[in-house]
Structure 1
Amino acid sequence: MLDRRVLLGLGGAVAAGGILAWPIREAGRATAETAGAVPAAPSHHGAGHMRRMARGAMASSRQAAEPFSVRMPVPAVARPVGRTEDADLYRIDMRPSQVEILPGKTTPALTYGGTFVGPTIRATAGRKVRIAYANRLGRPANVHLHGGHVPPESDGYPMDLIADGASRTLDYPNRQDGATLWYHDHTHHMEAEHVYRGMHGFYLIESPEERRLGLPRGRYDVPIMLRDAHFDADGGLILDVEHPEARSTLLANGRPQPYFPVAARKYRFRLLNSSIYKIFELDLGGAEMVQIASDGGLLPEPVPRTTLTLAPAERAEIVVDFSRHNVGDKLVLSDAGKPVVRFDVTHRADDPSRIPDRLRTLPPLPAPRETRRLKLAVAPSKMAYAINDLTWDPDRIDARVKEGTSEIWEIYNADTVDSEFGGIDHTFHLHLVQFRVLDRDGKPPLPGESGFKDTVLVRPGERVRIQATFDGWQGKYVYHCHMQEHNVAGMMAQLEIVE
């Protein structure tokens, strides 16, 4: 049996232009030359390179920040640079930046707007947003509005890149329900590296209907981006694709295991897992977290939780009522026992917010036109991650769907524990539309999966059925595993919406 570590290394090497592991502080020039190109086969590295890797890994463990030594920031909200009758206009520069992640250290990053978590866009359902992205990165890149219902030319297709020094305006119609979306790079072969280095930010759509529910708002509505990272002694990011477990520093809004002061009242937290591989298993020390929304917006009704699984690219909105706790109490959001962020109850405050018993009514599912079956698995003959044993090819259409029709897609993870490479988790993300989870292995969806989603976790040997209605625009879109180390290594396919 081929070791899974070797497979991850090969896949990651494709993503990184043939470099298996490196401190990103040293890698910028080399990867800039290969960005957007199809890299050659993984290159061999000598003992000297491996010793440098080991020194970087050891330095990382010494540099880990003390938990709860820094405050969690809230990402800044972008301000429009102009407005028209039907649209808000923004400008965001894509550029390298020196940021502080670890206390007292400077980390080179690739960013939207100069910050490690890009500026938050707060949009209104039914009102357009147009963003002019100016590329100052020194390499080609692009932007995908994850979960957005957008025309193909604004979707961030992997081959549709913004050249260095160029600008492009993308149109987001926001003809969808209120939801926590996010934007990130989707450059072919470079997506995992670019996102790991900081090309990610929140895009929040708010609706009048949601506002009338009385949920926590304003300063009590807080987006929190969760991810992992690996640092060298100087604070530089290391992307070691052979050892994802080395990414032992957990970040909340770009800071390591921070604290966040809260009032003794209800808060709405919009949780996003922006990791390129890691699955979070979250709990609040047994305290109740009431889930009110998933990827595509509000659930039909609140779901009380004490644990929450969040796979890469998934979102979950929770309400935590801190009025049940005393001033001075500290509640820790943990990932499988490891602290992520601590909430410190510092004072009491009035709380007019509420959690209604009903949040929304979902429309009935239309009759499906057909059922498609997708297999997510390593293709041994190609030594790559694949969908239906085929790796990504931009010149091949894998599925043609008639606009306005609804289909059932059955997604099977064939990387089981007894397969050649052992059990491997995958996720499935569909561009253009939100879908509904019908069942898992014939059983009802998991708690929190009863609403609209755009990303779903598929465990080894699991079979998940979803249903989506493909309306809005004609053109080419992609679907793929959102463990980005998998999709850059082949686990991505293409659909075309036709008349």
Structure 2
Amino acid sequence: MPDLTRRRVLAVGGALGVMAAGGLGAAAGLSRRPAVTGAELRSAVPLPPPFRVPLPLPAVLRPVSTAAGTDRYEIVQRETTAEILPGVRTRLWTYGGTFPGPTIESRRGRPVTVTHRNELPVPTVVHLHGGRTPAESDGYPTDLVTPAGWPTTAAHGGHTEPGGHAGHGSGQGMHDPRAVTTELTRDYTFPLDQRATLLWYHDHRMDFTAPAIWRGLAGMHLVRDDAEEALGLPSGPRELPLMITDRAFAADGSLDYPSLDPTLRGRPGVREPYLAGVLGDVILVNGAPWPVHEVDAARYRLRLLNASNARHYELEWVDGDGRNLPVVQVGSDQGLLAAPVTHTYLPVAPAERYDVVVDFAHAPVGGLVRLVNRLGSGRTREVMAFRVARRATDTSRIPRTLSTDLPNWRRSDAVRVRDFSFRAGRMGEDDGHGWLIGGLPFDPARSDVTVRLGDVEVWRLVADVHHPVHLHLAGFRILSRGGEQPLPHDGGLKDTVSLRPGESAEIITRFDGYRGRYLFHCHNAEHEDMGMMANLQVT
């Protein structure tokens, strides 16, 4: 094993040893380490100065049909070239020819069917992240949509190839007897019987999720309802969806990514320095580098999504005098909070969403408010900027009570408590090191956790390094961190919990909605591709 891997694994093992010996107190000490897991790629093209490119707003997709109470959409997955950096053409994999993909806006309880057509050179899988979705449309990693003529013996990409690189190929040689493969097209049906919130859709192909998202396969999906719209929160042009990502660019303008097989057709995984996660040196918002957006001196509702593979952010809004604007959180992954919470900064892990209101009336007209990443350095410290253009009438408000429909699960309701560790470890006798849940790499043929529909459970999670843990199908509440109270931004209903290095957390959820095979996994996309995923069977 190369020295770099050996040092990393020994460090991880040492951290777990400290936790085992010292319990939650030691874990709390380790959790104060910086929230950085991964290595940064450096772009080989000149990068533009910040705050010159206007913020793009993804187009809202129109349904092709609204008959029979269902909104039907069509999306073609295809390659295209676009100008992300000014004057530079970059090849992308896209939903509908744009990055991000088109936004879908839907109503709570009104079903949506999206027909995806795969014109890319490799199989794909679509997952609606945060959706309460029947298992057949949830985007299980081996339920592939293959390009026309794709050989069935290669349907699972890296899983049919022998060998494998140390730390990769969690399913090398495995066969999933329950996989459902379709050629060229697939209908995904989303009942959307859930709270109003910001969801997002992305590729979820086994072993190749990370490079596919990096190449552009991500888009936003908003669920709305009458109760939320009656609150009087900022709306219309004062509601901005913001997908934050990081990327790096090669000398020819292409997206740089350290794949072992750049075709994404055979050997999965990334080069040695990037096993912990891939970071880029360019921050994009809605696909634009360090953009700027003109705003009124008024309240704006910002729908934040961290769609980065591995980068964490601590976001703060800073005016020209260096003063922080207050940030009022009104919602989380799975919709509105019970009541607003005010922050000076907001940590956002990969796949997390936050619904916040920022009042630009606190900044002078003509001034610039910078959105800053406190965890970044150099160019990655800047995210975007807002230029306060004019005074304006503002009739929006932030009610003291936002929602009364949050679940009130109690510990005494739980029928069982489960423990899960998220850590580095050996994939198998000859497969080197990867990322494991409960000491095991992902295996689509293995049943890891079986729960009964309607049961309430408490899960205790513990991490070695930073792991944003995502649960499919069910939202949850965070009960504790390190044996203490949740953090100020942990309120509401979540579907992703950001575990900091050495940290333990408890979550509580009720498994309702649908029976079938689902997943839970780390949403550091490189960790996910290297084994940190497990099966959840709802019976």
Question: Shorter-normalised TM-score: what interval?
Answer: 0.7 to 0.9
Question: Partners of 2:6 and 2:211 in 1: how far apart?
Answer: 19
In the alignment, which residue of structure 2 is the partner of 1:449?
490
Corresponding letter in the other structure for 1:184: H
Which residue of the other structure, out of 445, 455, 458, is the alignment partner of 1:405?
A: 455
1:249-268 maps to which residues of 2 (within 5 A)? 249-268=282-301
Corresponding letter in the other structure for 2:530: A
Q: Any conservation in 2 of the 1:57–1:232 contact (CA below 8 Å)?
A: no
In the alignment, which residue of structure 1 is the partner of 2:342?
304
Which residue of the other structure, out of 200, 212, 216, is the alignment partner of 2:234?
A: 216
1:60-459 maps to which residues of 2 (within 5 A)? 60-165=43-148, 166-240=184-258, 241=270, 242-243=273-274, 247-285=280-318, 286-336=324-374, 338-361=381-404, 362-365=406-409, 367-380=413-426, 382=428, 383-413=433-463, 415=464, 424-459=465-500
> What is the DSSP-based 3-state SS (H/G/I as helix, E as strand, rest coil) of the residue aligned with 1:120?
strand
Deviation at 1:345, TM superposition (A): 0.6
Question: Partners of 2:188 and 2:427 in 1: how far apart?
Answer: 39
> What is the DSSP-based 3-state SS (H/G/I as helix, E as strand, rest coil) of the residue aligned with 2:68?
coil
Q: Label 1:330 to 1:135 Cα distance change in 2 as closer, same or farther (>3 A).
A: same
Q: Any conservation in 2 of the 1:63–1:233 contact (CA below 8 Å)?
A: no
Question: Partners of 1:64 and 1:461 in 2: how far apart?
Answer: 36
Question: Partners of 2:334 and 2:146 in 1: how far apart?
Answer: 31
Structure 1 portions without partners, runs of 5+: 10-55, 416-423
Deviation at 1:411, TM superposition (A): 0.5
Q: Label 1:426 to 1:327 Cα distance change in 2 as closer, same or farther (>3 A).
A: same
Q: Label 1:120 to 1:387 Cα distance change in 2 as closer, same or farther (>3 A).
A: same
Which residue of the other structure, out of 518, 522, 527, is the alignment partner of 1:477?
A: 518
> What is the DSSP-based 3-state SS (H/G/I as helix, E as strand, rest coil) of the residue aligned with 1:453?
coil
Deviation at 1:246, TM superposition (A): 5.9
Q: Label 1:150 to 1:351 Cα distance change in 2 as closer, same or farther (>3 A).
A: same
Q: Label 1:2 to 1:138 Cα distance change in 2 as closer, same or farther (>3 A).
A: closer
Question: Partners of 1:146 and 1:4 in 2: how far apart?
Answer: 33
Corresponding letter in the other structure for 2:499: V
Deviation at 1:61, TM superposition (A): 4.9
Deviation at 1:62, TM superposition (A): 4.4
Which residue of the other structure, out of 500, 503, 527, is the alignment partner of 1:462?
A: 503
Query: Percent identical across equivalent pairs?
Result: 42
Deviating more after overlay: 92-101 vs 184-193:
92-101
Q: Label 1:3 to 1:375 Cα distance change in 2 as closer, same or farther (>3 A).
A: farther
Question: Partners of 1:492 and 1:326 in 2: how far apart?
Answer: 48
Q: Any conservation in 2 of the 1:299–1:451 contact (CA below 8 Å)?
A: yes
> What is the DSSP-based 3-state SS (H/G/I as helix, E as strand, rest coil) of the residue aligned with 1:486?
helix
**Over residues 148-187 of structure 1, what are the superposed CA-to-partner deviations in whole Å (9 max), with x where a residue is unaligned?**
0000000000000111141111111010000111000000
Deviation at 1:2, TM superposition (A): 6.9
Larger RCO (CA under 8 A, 6+ residues apart): 2
Deviating more after overlay: 157-166 vs 140-149:
157-166
**TM-score normalised by length of structure 2:** 0.79
Question: Partners of 1:73 and 1:3 in 2: how far apart?
Answer: 44
Deviation at 1:364, TM superposition (A): 1.7
Two-structure CA RMSD over aligned residues (Å): 1.9
